[in-house]
Structure 1
Amino acid sequence: MFPMNVFEQRRQRAWMPAMAWRPVSLAGLVAPAAAAALEEVVVSATRSEQRLSEVLADVTVLDGEALERSGALALEDVMAKVPGIQITRNGGPGADTDLFMRGANKQHTAVYVDGIRIDAQNGSGGAPWETLPLESIERIEVLRGAAGALYGSDAMAGTVQIFTRRGETGFKPHVSVGAGSYGTKKGTAGFSGGQGVWDYALGLSYADSEGFDAKTGGSKRNLDKDGYVRKSANARVGMQLSAGQRLDVTALTSDSNAGYDSRAQGNDRAVRTLDAYGLNWQGDWTSAWRTRVAVSQSRHGYDTWTATHYRTETLLRNYLVHNEWRSRVGTFTVLAERREDTLENTSLVGGDARSRHQNALGLGYGLHWQQHAVQLNLRHDRDSDFGGKNTATLAYGWDFAPHWKATASVGTGFKVPTLFQRFSKNGDSSLKPEESRNMELGLRWSDKDLSFSATAYRSKVDNLVSYEKGLGSCGENYCYMNVDRAQLEGITLAGKWRTGMLKWYASVDFQNPHDVDNDRLLKRRSKRFATLGVETTLAGWTLGTELQAASRRFNDDAEAVKSLGGYTLVNLSASRQLARDFTLTARIDNALDRDYTLVKDYATAGRTLWLGVKWIPW
């Protein structure tokens, strides 16, 4: 079990909200769960603070220092390096982006920013990755595997929790500027600090790019450059009310205006907005009993300006009360949660706005005893449209030898159709929720300079919602229908090690996400993909080389012959302290200038160069 003295020691440090734990630096950009220091703490695996070394789920942690050193320009570029994840994008940065975790659809991964749920009720659903800014991110936790018993609807494949910077005692400003290929420019500024019981952080960013022609073929190709402008701001303010009592307020706003091609002529634009706000209170009543109360709201808008104007907007409100008791016989959790979704869209049938809500009750129990550990979570969600849904997760871990841990788990999940899928002219109000059953086995080995993990999984999805051609129940040429059964199976290998001055990290995925009825690979997903990276310090420079590779994919579920070819990319990065307060970062993506395709008829960037300078006074 979790030792009581550890709990009390952390309490003496004036507990932060669960979403505000500070990161521990990792050797590389990506590190498997078993590789972290013993005292690193995560919250995504159980929705409570837990030593990373004791986590039974498949978790990856990315820290802010490595994110900055990498020089990446977009969050989706960072996520593409995480084991078990593939990214596709309809063109360059700012374009529609999909994240496939373990081969699952984008909408099967629940996404949070500082505890605020980010989601959309449009056609595909899921988080709008193209609106989430990379700037000001301090830490990312990725949980792979069924998490419906923890997070409710959507978390069939896992969760991504993003944490922004938090202020510390003193005052610390920062400014960065940079420029690169395709006329790309970016600037950021902000400050953080704290005094007495208060701490604060503010970040601003602006980026624009001339871009490149997004379309390479098709009837709607427009020979123009499809650039983008993205502006964002975020703020966090915290107050230590008393010993063991803390209040945090978080705000995020992002605006993206990107070009795309929907017709042969004209300057077509897609404007995406995201506004998110959260209030979190956490209190320790005793050394063993903690309560957290959180209220949040996120609003996602999507406007297209073509020959006509089209707009859709999602409003999501979430309310959470989470109680945790730690005792000598284990850790007990009880949560009550309410989620409210509203969609506004002029193409909805029966009105331009639709809404629904879900009320949930969750129970959890965790025990660590000698070399054994068990985690059990149960949850009941009652949806205003679909009634009750029960989900469960059971996990077991065994430290069978020094440095070794074996894990096994089973879990269930569900995903209710989006409001657009049910009530648009292409929708079907009788759609059923998607349901999943997941099981996995894991093996980990970790030591100071070497760690390794292997995770095998199989997930079966019923009632998969698909956008199908052919006259369906909606009466249109394309309709949303429950037509597919999918099976997602595979194995993920990940590790990091050191040889002399070189720090290595690597991951490889072998997967088979396929439609059970026709045994075809799900669209835009590879059966094999891998990342290999190495980093070293030489003459004051931190140098990195990275290789990303993926096998062929099919652009559509129905395609069985013509495929999108596999690819191998080489990326280079460098950073150096120029003076006491200045740091230079440089990056070359696709250094070999490979021509590759992620989505049929859409272009990808060639060789791109980026140079940036950051000022942070000591």
Structure 2
Amino acid sequence: MFHSKQRLSAAPRRIALACALAAAGGAHAQTATDPAPADGAVTVAQLAAPSLPDTIVTANRVAQPLTDVLADVTLLDERQIRDSGAVTIADLLQRQPGLELSRNGGPGTTTSLFMRGAENRFTAVYIDGVRVDTQATGGAPWEAIALGQVERIEIVRGPAAAVYGSDAIAGVVQIFTKKGDGPFSPYVGLGVGSRRTGKLEAGFSGKNGALDYALGAARDLSRGFNSRPDANPDLDGYRQTSASGRLGVQLNDDHRIDLSATSSHIKAGYDGFTPDLHDVSDSRLSTLGASWSGQWTKNFSTRLSVSESQQRYETEPSPYLTKTTLRNVLLQNEWRQGGHLVTAALERREDHLTNDPIDQSRHQDAIALGYGYTGGPHTLQVNLRHDRDSEFGGQTTGGVAYGYSFAPGWRVTGAVGTAFRVPTLYQRFSEYGYGGLQPEKSRNLELGLHWADHGSRFGIVAYRNRVTDLITFGAAGPCGSLYGCYANTGRAVLRGVTISGAHKFGPVNLAGSLDLQDPHDAATGKLLARRAKRILKLNADTRVAGWTLGAEWLASSKRYDNAANTNVLGGYGLVNLYASTTVAREWQLLARIDNLGDKAYQLARGYATPGRSFYVGLRWSPK
């Protein structure tokens, strides 16, 4: 059921399912697994996001036409991100199919995203091609990733370790900041909202001959709300400062150099375990990347990239400090001939953790091979990768995907793949750690059916991902801590069906998705903590007198806050409204109301979530 004390009748369920299969060209997300257009039809990318180029780089780490991509993919462009009015990147992503959000309070507090019911650490995250992770808890620090400078997001569901190595058990999220193109273009934006929320952003981008550039900065703040009214009656606000820059130089027709950098610093109040204590977290995240690409012949190209990310998290007055540094070097070669694409890559990754008294490092060296073919109704993708870890030795992963367009607009797809994640350095060397931990491993199988035609689309993907050697925190053991130890004691089965669609009914664009999933502990059969079995997301928008008016509905069934499934988190439904218009030649206005019904719900037991909220933003961006 979607609410803890109310069931949906059979008729509304059928209506909800029908709506989930509907959507429109202006939808906030689209799946890029649709077949090539036939009989004059256009692709889903052209329908749902006309400003996006007809390529995607996430799925196989190379630029490919959308019709050649077999993975379950969602693309979000700059307009969709800006019009969403989302405060954080996690808030934006939870509106996409197959993704759930868990947070201990408001923005700036510990945030997790579950892709297809998998742990937060099972999704590999990149910012401008730079890997982002923490060697403490594992997984991307979503609360530290700023949304203000983001221009494009690519989401790939399904294991991708055969392309990206360790961590990509559930999928990959690629985040791209603004890139310069066209003449010099400045912008300035400001916004205000409830709870004394404010935002100020400014930047510019452009291209001058062989040089393209982009630079932007933003400042966000909010007084916040009381996230634990029964335990710690104080307001938990936040202040975030972020910046990003990209620089590209086209040396000649065949060679190019790209540089990128991002920085985010957020201080946020949170409620810990000590009553009446005003806890504050200080989180910093920075990335640096440099790459060179060369086109040696019409068919053969090479790309070399070097990158580093640093994540620092500190709390006060309760003392805690952890710092993670990741470094990557990637050399990738591509050969294209007709419908064939062959890739060969060498990669080195280095991880370092400082978390007193821990000061540990490790590295992985890998070789990856890939082959893709597109011809007539057939599409094939094969990947194989071998990682040599300095602690755990060799890890081999592979993936095979196939698509067949059996009729105009229709395509069926199937894929199998393996993946792994090595334990974090904290899981091995902290007082709760155990040096004998082994990598977590998975085997995934999925089948999909997709249709697209003249502004309408439909997709259904069924998947089953079996995870073994799952690392859990349990009872006292070999670590010596009386509070518990990390151990390879778990097995999980992540299975489900995602249904998504798009259609236009006259002037109204409809979009939606329905996730029916069962992420459970294979030993006990219990549902994994903080994950729902049913999630429905609907969106509708239309144009009226120069305004874009829209509404969103997110409904989630009940979840449990613990592995034993004894602490219930009730189901909930949220309605959001938004509107935007051009108020002058170069000025855009955006207004949103989130949680229109002022629904009280929890994403983590004991932690409140924001009630009804409003936001109004104004942006100047001359053409």
TM-score range for the pair, normalised by the shorter chain length: over 0.9
Distance in 1 (alpha carbons) for counterparts of 2:125 and 2:408: 35
Opposite residue 586 of structure 1, the aligned amino acid is A
Cα-Cα RMSD: 1.3
Instruction: Verify the 8 A CA contact 1:112 1:161 in the aligned structure 2.
Output: yes
User: Displacement, 1:568?
Assistant: 0.4
SS at match of 1:214: coil
Q: Which residue of 2 aligns with 1:336?
A: 346
Instruction: Verify the 8 A CA contact 1:331 1:367 in the aligned structure 2.
Output: yes
SS at match of 2:528: coil
Opposite residue 27 of structure 1, the aligned amino acid is G
SS at match of 1:69: helix
Q: Which residue of 2 aligns with 1:13?
A: none
> Given the two structures, how large is their TM-score scaled by the length of structure 2?
0.92
Distance in 2 (alpha carbons) for counterparts of 1:324 and 1:566: 48
Instruction: Verify the 8 A CA contact 1:410 1:440 in the aligned structure 2.
Output: yes
SS at match of 2:91: helix
User: Which residue of 273, 279, 300 corresponds with 1:268?
Assistant: 279
Instruction: Verify the 8 A CA contact 1:26 1:62 in the aligned structure 2.
Output: no
Instruction: Verify the 8 A CA contact 1:148 1:413 in the aligned structure 2.
Output: yes
User: Which residue of 97, 102, 105 corresponds with 1:91?
Assistant: 105
Distance in 1 (alpha carbons) for counterparts of 2:454 and 2:475: 54
Q: What are the residue-to-residue correspondences of 1:301-316 with 2, within 5 Å?
A: 301-306=312-317, 308-316=318-326
Opposite residue 404 of structure 2, the aligned amino acid is W
Opposite residue 200 of structure 2, the aligned amino acid is G
Q: What are the residue-to-residue correspondences of 1:38-77 with 2, within 5 Å?
A: 40-77=54-91
User: Displacement, 1:136?
Assistant: 2.0
Number of aligned residue pairs: 584
Q: Which residue of 2 aligns with 1:133?
A: 146
Q: Which residue of 1 aligns with 2:45?
A: 36
Q: Which residue of 1 aligns with 2:569?
A: 564
Distance in 1 (alpha carbons) for counterparts of 2:184 and 2:270: 42
Q: Deviations over 1:343-384 (max 9, x none)?
A: 001143xxxx10000000000001112111111000000000
SS at match of 2:500: strand
State whether structure 2 residue 561 is matched by structure 1 residue 555. Answer: yes
User: Displacement, 1:48?
Assistant: 1.0
User: Which residue of 155, 164, 181 corresponds with 1:168?
Assistant: 181
Q: Which residue of 2 aligns with 1:384?
A: 390
Comparing 40-49 and 97-106, the one that deviates more: 40-49
User: Which residue of 155, 165, 168 corresponds with 1:152?
Assistant: 165
User: Which residue of 429, 435, 439 corresponds with 1:423?
Assistant: 429
User: Displacement, 1:243?
Assistant: 0.1
Structure 1 residue ranges (4+ consecutive) displaced by more than 4 angstroms after TM superposition: none
Distance in 1 (alpha carbons) for counterparts of 2:56 and 2:454: 19
Alpha carbons of structure 1 residues 610 and 329: separation in structure 2 relative to 1, 3 Å: closer
User: Displacement, 1:73?
Assistant: 1.6
Structure 2 portions without partners, runs of 5+: 1-23, 35-43, 48-52
Q: Which residue of 1 aligns with 2:116?
A: 102
Q: Which residue of 1 aligns with 2:593?
A: 588
Q: What are the residue-to-residue correspondences of 1:385-534 with 2, within 5 Å?
A: 385-471=391-477, 473-534=479-540
Q: Deviations over 1:212-264 (max 9, x none)?
A: 112244xxx22110111100000001110100211110000000100112211
User: Displacement, 1:170?
Assistant: 1.5
Instruction: Verify the 8 A CA contact 2:25 2:502 in the aligned structure 1.
Output: no
State whether structure 2 residue 583 is matched by structure 1 residue 578. Answer: yes
User: Displacement, 1:455?
Assistant: 0.3
Opposite residue 313 of structure 2, the aligned amino acid is Y
Distance in 2 (alpha carbons) for counterparts of 1:436 and 1:524: 21
User: Displacement, 1:329?
Assistant: 6.4
Q: Deviations over 1:128-159 (max 9, x none)?
A: 11111111211111000010100000000000
Distance in 2 (alpha carbons) for counterparts of 1:505 and 1:181: 28
State whether structure 2 residue 600 is matched by structure 1 residue 600. Answer: no
Opposite residue 591 of structure 1, the aligned amino acid is L
Q: Deviations over 1:160-187 (max 9, x none)?
A: 0011111113211101111111111111
Instruction: Verify the 8 A CA contact 2:25 2:503 in the aligned structure 1.
Output: no
> Does 1 or 2 have the higher relative contact order (CA < 8 Å, sep 6+)?
2
Opposite residue 97 of structure 1, the aligned amino acid is T
Distance in 2 (alpha carbons) for counterparts of 1:193 and 1:568: 42
Structure 1 portions without partners, runs of 5+: 1-24
Distance in 2 (alpha carbons) for counterparts of 1:288 and 1:112: 27
Opposite residue 600 of structure 1, the aligned amino acid is R
Distance in 2 (alpha carbons) for counterparts of 1:389 and 1:26: 42
User: Displacement, 1:475?
Assistant: 3.1
SS at match of 2:596: coil
Instruction: Verify the 8 A CA contact 1:571 1:589 in the aligned structure 2.
Output: yes
Give aligned-pair identity as a percent. Answer: 47
SS at match of 1:264: coil
Q: Which residue of 1 aligns with 2:337?
A: 327
